[in-house]
Structure 1
């Protein structure tokens, strides 16, 4: 079995690769090669050093011949431009998100039409496909039957890709599965261009002894998922057998990964409880209307029944997310966070 992860050296790509390398199987079948494709490659990074791993370096649309040089059984398509940069540069978002996804699907289709097998394509979509329109306000609780009405270019691009994957699956070109991700927190490392990046920054930076800006009102509610739960959800949706019944994936409907609903105020209160007053006081509230408009358009409360049928559950609390971060990234925390 040959498994490909696009965006394989990104935050989630690395964690997904590590999870697959721990078991060295997919759905019980041994993985013969794990291909990590990315524009930014670190040759010495732990995933790349594993003898099971092949690395494809460069723009994905220019490297698809290399990716599909040997039969591909499963593709986790994580590579994407993120929300704020897509809003600022629509052409970038259309190329990185829509054009690249279509090129990947066409390469998978070509394989299924010639050498086979039909690739299983697992797409990381987003809660940003949802939004509120004056003619159709967003309902208080979201499930997969809620009409997606994105209020950002990023959400629109993700929704376009969802429909392409559904149509290619209907034709039998690919076996497509779509996981709609919640905002993943707490992310380590440096901030990225995602509009939701502050939701990690207001925890990560203070714990590292740095200041952070919160660009939204503290009462804003958001839907979060830990990195651990997010990777587990991607794997569960990818490995699920199709059909009706518990634990099986029915139809082509995307799966909303389970959401933990919290307010920004609750997040800051948890930081204060875990790390103390001095650390929490490193966060400055400075509302940015553009950020709040985008992040505030995303729903916060989800009906998780479709995910629960696959055995998936949301994080227990925001405290558990912070504890996961502290356990996974001890070197990213100041020795004395109160200084």
Structure 2
């Protein structure tokens, strides 16, 4: 089996690459080739039986992916994106990367006749917004309140329509906010959700730009990667009539997150969090809903984290193992 990943040098792309190489198979079929694409050349460890093809590529360039699509990958993970705050700050960049490149990818699949290729795109809770019911589900109307959410919503609709027409076998996963991300803060509006845990547990100061009563819908990196892998195994008829799935996350307030920080890192860790309101970030994040009914995802076999303590303890264990 040949798997193609766009955005492979990013955080999720690296985690997914590692999981695929470790498992060595997708949906019971041996993984024989893994093609990794990003703006900078992705790095992956050599493998004895899996052919690795790592390429630096600007997927917004017309026809950039055509040669790879002509080699008929059986699963495509489309993770390439400009993150939320950056897409809000630069409309043209967000439209080019998040929407136009996705449309070009779909057209490339259509031209190559990849009707049976499973295309899995990472979407976001940002596709929702405005006045919403207390609890949402997969079929709640998409009313994004940011450019990022709008771009993701347009891609979702395109993937559903191309799949309805039999041009691609699409699956969209709406990701909760991923916590705890390793590394350093990035331009995502939700970056603080990892920073207020990661930095204090590492002995550094972190800024919290939102009120502590704000709630988020969250999922651990490991569970997100498990969901991406599982999405490749779902039968097409299980995804009809609508191809977008809200993954089962946890609803947690910033205050509850900080309590877990105190439980695991002590008062010293909690004292490293400084509250510095940032209205621009709050406006974006507060527009994202935090409560979902996810029975459909659970019926399809997607699994949630047990609790927020487990998420943070797993992060601490992984960081210690990496050291």
Q: Which residue of 1 aligns with 2:57?
A: 58
CA distance in 1, matches of 2:148, 2:74: 28
Structure 2's unaligned 5+ residue stretches are none
Q: Is the 8 A contact 1:2 1:34 kept in 2?
A: yes
* Matched pairs, number: 319
Say which SS state the counterpart of residue 251 (structure 1) adopts.
coil
Equivalence for 1:336: none
Contact 1:26 1:239 in 2 (8 A): yes
In 2: Cα distance, 1:198 partner to 1:332 partner: 22
Alpha-carbon offset, residue 238 of structure 1: 2.3
Take 2:19 and 2:322, find their aligned partners in 1: how far apart are those partners? 21
Residue in 1 that maps onto 2:46: 49
1:99 Cα deviation from its structure 2 partner: 0.8
TM-score normalized by structure 2?
0.95
Summarize the alignment of residues 319-334 of structure 1 with structure 2, pairs less than 5 Å apart: 319-330=309-320
Distance 1:265 1:332, change over 3 A: farther
1:30 maps to: 30
| Counterpart-to-counterpart distance in 2, 1:217 and 1:234 | 32
Deviation per CA, 1:28-74: give whole Å up to 9, x if none: 111110111111225xx4x2433522112121234313422412111
State the match for 2:165 in structure 1: 171
CA contact (8 A) 1:85 1:93 kept: yes
Match of 2:269 among 261, 265, 279: 279
How far does residue 252 in structure 1 lie from its aligned partner after superposition?
A: 2.5
Inter-partner Cα distance in structure 1 for 2:76 and 2:248: 22
Matches within 5 A, 1:65-84: 65-84=66-85
**Is the 2:115–2:167 Cα contact (8 Å) retained in structure 1?**
no
C-alpha distance in structure 2 between counterparts of 1:48 and 1:79, whole Å: 21
* Distance in structure 1 (CA, Å) of the matches to 2:234 and 2:36: 22
TM-align CA RMSD: 1.5
1:296 equivalent among 274, 277, 286: 286
Residues 1-339 of structure 1 correspond to what in structure 2 (within 5 A)? 1-42=1-42, 45=43, 47-51=44-48, 52=50, 53-62=52-61, 63-112=64-113, 116=114, 118-132=116-130, 137-243=131-237, 248-330=238-320
Residue 228 of structure 1 aligns to a residue in which SS? helix
Cα shift readout 1:235-282 (whole Å, capped 9, x = no counterpart): 222211123xxxx43323310001100000010111011011111100
Q: Distance in 1 between matches of 2:322 and 2:275?
A: 23
More displaced stretch, 103-112 vs 153-162: 103-112
- Could you tell me how far apart the structure 2 residues matched to 1:331 and 1:209 are? 17
